Amino acid sequence: MIKMVIAAWESYFQRVNKLFENLSDEQLQKQVAPGRNTGVYLLGHLTAVTDGMLPLLGFGEKLYPELDKIFLESPDASGLKTPPVAELRSYWKAVNEKLSKNINAMNPDNWFTRHSAVSQEDFLKEPHRNKLNIIINRTNHQSWHYGQLLFLQPGAD
């Protein structure tokens, strides 16, 4: 069961990662659709969301908390200074490497313990708010934006 959930996460991570690798910096600067987020913003957004999974899952502190203000709390074109694309690409790589290493080392039982954003008290009432559920929800979030990022590539659906 755990394997299925992790495999789905891995599968979408690989797709998104391959897409980012295939897209040039120039392609990433473009909006995925008229008036919508740019590829760069979504790269930063997915990096910040993945980075946020580290403390939620008990894997340590965020590597790049400074991304939150730009890519989680503010919309695209907020006027905030964003890191260069090359730097964002390296952040994306680093957070996913750290996440993946910790996921693989995780004790199976630990997946069913509460994630750090839910209190002990609430967890007793809502035991599904566990660490594995974070993976399920973040996989869906990633595939949502994957569908949009595909539009930066000619011919993809």
- Least distance to a copy of itself, CB of residue 56, Å: 15
Nearer to a copy of itself, 87 or 126 (CB): 126
Q: How far apart are CA 58 and CA 115, in angstroms?
A: 8
Q: 56: Cβ–Cβ under 8 A, 6 or more apart, which residues?
A: 115, 116, 117, 131, 134
Q: Does 8 bind a copy of itself (CB under 8 A)?
A: yes
Helix extents (H) in the chain: 2-22, 25-29, 39-56, 67-71, 85-105, 120-125, 131-149
Q: Does 80 bind a copy of itself (CB under 8 A)?
A: no
Angle (CA) 12-78-54 rounded to 5° is: 40
Range in contact with a copy of itself (rule: CB under 8 A) among 20-28, 64-72, 116-124, 143-151: 143-151
When binding is defined by CB under 8 A, the residue of 23, 28, 37, 50 that contacts a copy of itself is: 37
Nearest to 92 by CA among 5, 25, 20, 146: 20
Q: Does 132 bind a copy of itself (CB under 8 A)?
A: yes
Q: How far apart are CA 128 and CA 143, in angstroms?
A: 21
Q: Does 108 bind a copy of itself (CB under 8 A)?
A: no
CB neighbourhood size of 111 (10 A):
20
When binding is defined by CB under 8 A, the residue of 55, 56, 123, 146 that contacts a copy of itself is: 146
Q: Does 47 bind a copy of itself (CB under 8 A)?
A: no
Range in contact with a copy of itself (rule: CB under 8 A) among 28-36, 51-59, 85-93, 113-121: 28-36
Residue 60 phi/psi, 5° resolution?
A: 105, -175
Q: Does 126 bind a copy of itself (CB under 8 A)?
A: no
Can you give the binding site for a copy of itself, defined by CB under 8 A? 1, 3-5, 7-8, 12, 32-34, 36-37, 75, 112, 128, 130, 132-133, 136-137, 139-141, 143-148, 151, 157
